[in-house]
Amino acid sequence: MSEPPRRRPAIVAVDDEPAVLAAVSRDLRRGFGERYRIVRAGSGEEALEALRELGRRGEQVALLVADQRMPSLSGTEYLVRAREIAPAAKRVLLTAYADTEAAIQAINEVSLDYYLLKPWDPPEEELFPVVEDLLSGWEAGAALESGGVRLIGHRFSRSSHDLRDFLARNRVPARWLDVERDSEARQLLKVADVDEDRLPVALLEDGTVLERPTVLELAERLGISAQPASEHYDLAIVGGGPAGLAAAVYGASEGLRTIMVEREAPGGQAGQSSRIENYLGFPTGLSGSDLARRATDQARRLGAELVTLQDAAGLRVEGSGRILELTGGGSLSASSVLVASGVSYRQLEVPGFAELTGQGIYYGAAVTEARSCQDQHVVVIGGANSAGQAAVYFSKYAGQVTMLVRGDSLAKSMSHYLIEQIEALPNVEVRTRAEAVAAEGDGRLRVLRVRSADGTESALDVDACFVFIGAAPRTEWLAGVVARDERGFVLAGLDAKADGWPLDRDPFPLETSVPGVFVAGDVRARSIKRVASAVGEGSMAVSLVHQYLAEA
């Protein structure tokens, strides 16, 4: 007997004015009624009860649309409560022009995804594109949650963490099952006849069982790992962060045969950011993974070729060609190269950290671990924006978040908006002039030893620790070929001219000491470590590549 068809996900619209509710329901039904069920409610309380009923039936809620000016329960108040019932749903606030302050407040209080001014006429221009974009983001997340790959392992296993992180960052639909917490995990292992000492185990949709797979083995079975499709390109980009993705988009859109090589997953370090709130044009902010998803889809649609799980191992010059040696053993030829390989978080060189990395200690946001930190004690080490974004994000799950900051305040290294958010969070404690001096555990992190400014040490019982202590450039593969500064960052423009520049003309602004090899983003010496500047440099580099190719 076949299973009954699954009901369409719901869009819940609430407004106390019958005419407005009828109008928004009509337009939503006209634009999205084939894919989604439109649920109407005349008050916030009625809408909350509808959400509870949907939850009891096990139905998905994709979008909440609420009017701000409702008498018994304002739109913002309703969305605060609705978020507890349907946390994954996207949230839209309907506002009048005079409600802008309320909308801004809602952005901060309920992580509002969009506020829409009434009237939204014509809906084809003012409503449909907004809702379609939000639903696309929700669908991408829902697909990941319901996913095809089932990964079974231990939470505090380094190999399990690496596989989870790989699947999440490459947006592979997958479900994580902790063998210690999920009875389903133990049942699946019994069915697959796999012993627990063979974990982690990946169960693929075609029935394949992979015991203790490496990231590369899993990627190959999923068809993610790829080789270049051509022998020669106009532009080869090393690195898939914001700078590399921007160059891929602009290079492909302007007719260059473009390939981007990324060692882990599109998005780079920014792709791991839980929330980017100061990126131009996104007043409600967006996650790093969402930015990476949008940019990757855009680059592919415009014709760029993206190769993941490959990295540059070397660079050589052969006449007008620039040859990239790849870690997979192959190579590719290009007329020009953009180095956008970014940076890696520095390792904390204190006792215990190396041994417990991936077993409670993580470098970067590791958002795959967030839900596992429910009601636990999380420590964030660092005082810059990436650390602040992580603290705010983990505060939504953890019972307590402690920030360890070596400086005497956050003001020297963190954006003001983030400092304000952190100060408003009751479960986040900032300890300045404090540093971790040791980590202890028994196969997983248990204790951090912390030294305060007066030299005294204390022990913190900790469940997870996330480290953000500066970055080192990924440029070892350029040694002896391209000029770098004393820290390894790539020199460009006039800074690179003194290092054996071979041409009569000056280097272009983002050109390295090797003509036709450009650099953009965090890996460039004296760069501004911001997503917007990296995107700008990546797009600017393509214009300079055109000039170089025209002269070559």
Domain that holds residue 129: 10-144
Residue type, 290: D
DSSP class of residue 14 equals E
Asked whether residue 402 falls in the same domain as residue 510, the answer is no
Angle between helices 75-85 and 100-110 (to 10 degrees): 20
CA–CA separation, 241 and 269 (whole Å): 7
Asked whether residue 19 falls in the same domain as residue 137, the answer is yes
**pLDDT tens for the chain, residues 1 to 552:** 344 456 789 999 999 999 999 999 999 999 999 999 999 999 999 999 999 999 998 899 999 999 998 988 999 999 989 998 998 899 999 888 666 777 777 777 777 888 888 888 899 998 999 999 999 888 877 766 666 789 999 988 989 999 998 888 888 888 889 998 888 888 889 888 888 889 999 999 888 999 999 998 999 898 886 789 998 999 999 999 999 999 999 999 999 999 999 998 888 888 778 778 888 888 878 888 889 989 999 999 999 999 988 899 999 999 999 999 999 888 999 999 999 999 988 899 999 999 999 999 998 876 778 888 889 999 999 999 889 999 998 998 999 999 999 999 999 889 998 999 999 999 999 999 999 999 999 989 999 999 998 999 999 999 999 999 988 899 999 999 999 999 999 999 999 988 789 999 999 999 999 999 999 999 999 998 889 999 999 999 999 999 999 987
Question: What is the total count of domains within the chain?
Answer: 4
Write out the two tokens for 481: 């070929």
Asked whether residue 1 is assigned to any structural domain, the reply reads: no
Helix (H) or strand (E) holding 448: strand 445-451
Backbone angles phi, psi at 172, to 5 degrees: -90, 125
47-95 pLDDT, tens digit per residue, is 999 999 999 988 999 999 999 989 889 999 999 899 989 988 999 998 8
Could you tell me which of 395, 404, 384, 465 has the C-alpha nearest to residue 424? 395
Asked whether residue 386 falls in the same domain as residue 445, the answer is yes
Asked whether residue 279 falls in the same domain as residue 314, the answer is yes
Coil, helix or strand for 234?
strand
Asked whether residue 278 is assigned to any structural domain, the reply reads: yes
Q: Are 541 and 510 in contact (CB under 8 A)?
A: yes
Q: Are 284 and 331 in contact (CB under 8 A)?
A: no
DSSP class of residue 45 equals H
Coil, helix or strand for 122?
coil
Residues facing residue 485 across a β-bridge: none
Query: Among 469, 493, 519, where does a domain finish?
Result: 469
Query: Among 113, 144, 175, where does a domain finish?
Result: 144
Q: Are 415 and 391 in contact (CB under 8 A)?
A: no
Asked whether residue 135 falls in the same domain as residue 22, the answer is yes
CA–CA separation, 546 and 552 (whole Å): 10
Asked whether residue 43 falls in the same domain as residue 122, the answer is yes
> Helix (H) and strand (E) counts for the chain?
16, 26
CATH number of the CATH domain containing 137: 3.40.50.2300
Residue 549 zone, left/alpha/beta (φ > 0; ψ -120 to 50; rest)? alpha
Q: Are 112 and 91 in contact (CB under 8 A)?
A: yes
Query: Among 409, 441, 469, where does a domain finish?
Result: 469
Asked whether residue 511 is assigned to any structural domain, the reply reads: yes
Provide the mean pLDDT of the chain: 90
83-130 pLDDT, tens digit per residue, is 989 988 999 998 886 667 777 777 777 778 888 888 888 999 989 999
Asked whether residue 33 falls in the same domain as residue 137, the answer is yes
